[in-house]
Structure 1
Amino acid sequence: MTLSNFGIAGVQMYVSASHDNVERMGGYMQHIRKRFPWVRMVLFPELCPLGPGRDKAEPLPGPTEDRLRELARETGLWLIPGSMFEAVDTPQGTVVYNTTPVIDPHGDVVARCRKLFPFRPYEEGVEGGTEFCVFDVPDVGRFGVSICYDMWFPETTRSLVALGAEVILHPTMTDTIDRDVELAIARASAVTNQVYFFDINGVGDGGVGRSIVCDPSGYVLHESQAGDEIVAIDVDLQRVRRERERGLRTLGQPLKSFRDRACDFPVYERRATDGYLQSLGPLVKPT
């Protein structure tokens, strides 16, 4: 039997850049297990376990991921622990990715999502991933993962939804003055793709807070302020399926219209960037 409702808790928490945050994450998970027994999945902000220092990059699997796996196993919860910097040895040297593992309630890693769009030119020395990340929760539905700046590229969310995602899990670490813009992007991403969108930010060294959860009709289910907060939401996946069939608010059916489109999008061909986009100059920090 396929379940319709599924509890997800986003944790907007203080993220330290100088200290390990894994123990505090475990405390939140234990609290959620007791306080919200209907929650089955927990999502933390980007770079939450070890903070935003690239010098803390580890291979995956690795020691920190093993600790996170144990937290999932102890609590019996699905865990998307934000992300970590992943160190990969290559013949040319060590390559670093911004990666979040997806850990099931048994403590097994079922997927790893590498951030597709590092926040260049500021997120220096980090390579972009090349694969879209979706995974299935048995008897529930399909979930997609993207990380922070990925949201600014609507092709990312559209691709995850085209792969069947009904919920987008989006850890972020926004500590800049454009957070208000991201709130609009999160809502637009939800409604144009008829999907639940969980955009969970950190506080302290991990961001300015203001996490947001939007439903497939574009309604804001919750917007946090600037402090620590547990955002526990019971999503209704049957509603996603019904609205994709009948239209959001029984109106537009954007996924079907996209599927049945008459136009092509030549901008997505690499050669299309040889014109105007090349004239914008190199991707560098302003001076």
Structure 2
Amino acid sequence: MRPFAVAGIQMKVSAVASNLEMMKLKLDITMSLYPWVDMVVFSELCGYGPLTHTAQEIPGEFEQQMQALAKKHNIWLLPGSIFEKDHGRIYNTATVINPEGEIVTRYRKMFPFYPYEVGVTPGSEFCVFDVPGVAKFGVSICYDMWFPETVRTLTVMGAEVILHPTMTGTIDREIELSIVRAMAAVNQCYFFDVNGLESGGSGRSIVCGPDGRVIYQAEGNEEIFPLELNIERVRRSRELGILRLGQPLKSFRDHIGQFGIYQPGADLPYLNSLGPLIKPTRIDTLTKLKMKENEYEPPTAPTGYKGFGEL
């Protein structure tokens, strides 16, 4: 099997201006320095930043320009994601482009970062695609990986490499690094996580192999990190076990019928007791002030999202 090289681009992302020209420059630099690279991956919302008012219709100008770049450099390209507007809704959407400049597939983020990614509608379809003669790839975006079922489903669909654009600038980035390692190990796959900088995140992109070990971890500066993947490592791990020990995918297969909690109509009293999905506030402080003034009223929480907003 021929080697296959993937490059992640960790770059600064502006929230107030288009980052399209800088993406073009970074891609040109990447291919000038590393002409052996087969695929390039940018971070989540890299093109136009994290505000929903930048949402565009797809297909559109962004995809067209990215298609031209993929064809120019003869590479597979996942240019992060952008906010997509479609029939009154907004999605966080990533596009996969082949070396001929053709759209292979698109993926809408299934788990927006509620209650913070306000106004974004979840996608409903998993995304895998084939690179002929190389491997099957899966696409996941940022908060998706906090739900193990998403990555597990991609691997059950045959994904051997998970491409994961993210935009994390919050204090839980350290936790995410652990999640990447865990997802790579329990699903016996490569996990390629690309974060942005400034308005696009705090960096520290990470790539892990099918045994959960870190192959590369970036720092908090702009970086281009090209890595040659050995897909045979995935297949050997799935055949013989992680470090010739656990075989989680086979074990999951052999016990899949026992997970009744996931069946339609399952009774989930504990999860239903957790209350609505709301943004934390200083509720104790507000409650005490109202009680002191004899004006206390039980707080009401929103039950869902209406309309669009900005992050």
Is 1:113 the counterpart of 2:111? The answer is no
1:240-255 aligned at under 5 Å gives the runs 240-255=234-249
Which residue of structure 2 aligns with residue 5 of structure 1? 3
- Of 114, 128, 132 in structure 2, the residue corresponding to residue 138 of structure 1 is 132
Which residue of structure 1 aligns with residue 59 of structure 2? 61
Which residue of structure 1 aligns with residue 222 of structure 2? 228
Distance 1:273 1:160 in 2: 26
1:250-261 aligned at under 5 Å gives the runs 250-261=244-255
Which residue of structure 2 aligns with residue 213 of structure 1? 207
SS in 2 for 1:258: helix
| CA drift at 1:271 | 3.4
Which residue identity is paired with 2:67?
A: R
For residues 224-278 of structure 1, the C-alpha deviation after alignment (integer angstroms, 9 at most, x for no partner) is 1111011111000111111111111111111111111275212213533541111
For residues 91-114 of structure 1, the C-alpha deviation after alignment (integer angstroms, 9 at most, x for no partner) is xxx111100000111111100010
Distance 2:52 2:263 in 1: 33
- Of 175, 182, 187 in structure 2, the residue corresponding to residue 193 of structure 1 is 187
Distance 2:48 2:264 in 1: 36
Which residue identity is paired with 1:231?
A: F
Distance 2:234 2:260 in 1: 30
Asked if 1 retains the 8 angstrom alpha-carbon contact of 2:181 and 2:213, the reply is yes
Shift of the 273–20 alpha-carbon distance from structure 1 to 2, 3 Å rule, reads farther
Is 1:267 the counterpart of 2:261? The answer is yes
Which residue identity is paired with 2:29?
A: H
- Of 48, 54, 64 in structure 2, the residue corresponding to residue 50 of structure 1 is 48
Larger Cα Rg: Structure 1 or Structure 2?
2
Which residue of structure 2 aligns with residue 35 of structure 1? 33
SS in 2 for 1:142: strand
Return the structure number with greater strand share: 1
Asked if 1 retains the 8 angstrom alpha-carbon contact of 2:261 and 2:268, the reply is no
**Which stretch shifts more, 95-104 or 245-254?**
245-254
Distance 1:190 1:143 in 2: 13
Structure 2 unaligned regions, length at least 5: 282-311
Asked if 2 retains the 8 angstrom alpha-carbon contact of 1:22 and 1:68, the reply is no
- Of 78, 84, 88 in structure 2, the residue corresponding to residue 86 of structure 1 is 84
TM-score w.r.t. structure 2 length?
0.88
Distance 1:168 1:82 in 2: 13
Structure 1 unaligned regions, length at least 5: none
SS in 1 for 2:38: strand
| CA-based RMSD | 1.2
- Of 133, 148, 157 in structure 2, the residue corresponding to residue 154 of structure 1 is 148
- Of 266, 271, 280 in structure 1, the residue corresponding to residue 274 of structure 2 is 280
SS in 2 for 1:144: strand
Distance 1:245 1:137 in 2: 21
Shift of the 4–259 alpha-carbon distance from structure 1 to 2, 3 Å rule, reads farther
Asked if 2 retains the 8 angstrom alpha-carbon contact of 1:4 and 1:237, the reply is no
Asked if 2 retains the 8 angstrom alpha-carbon contact of 1:4 and 1:238, the reply is no
Q: How many residues align?
A: 281
TM-score w.r.t. structure 1 length?
0.95
Distance 1:199 1:9 in 2: 11
Distance 2:163 2:259 in 1: 27
Which residue identity is paired with 1:154?
A: P
Asked if 1 retains the 8 angstrom alpha-carbon contact of 2:43 and 2:80, the reply is yes
| CA drift at 1:73 | 1.3
Which residue of structure 2 aligns with residue 125 of structure 1? 119
Asked if 2 retains the 8 angstrom alpha-carbon contact of 1:213 and 1:220, the reply is yes
Which residue identity is paired with 1:266?
A: G
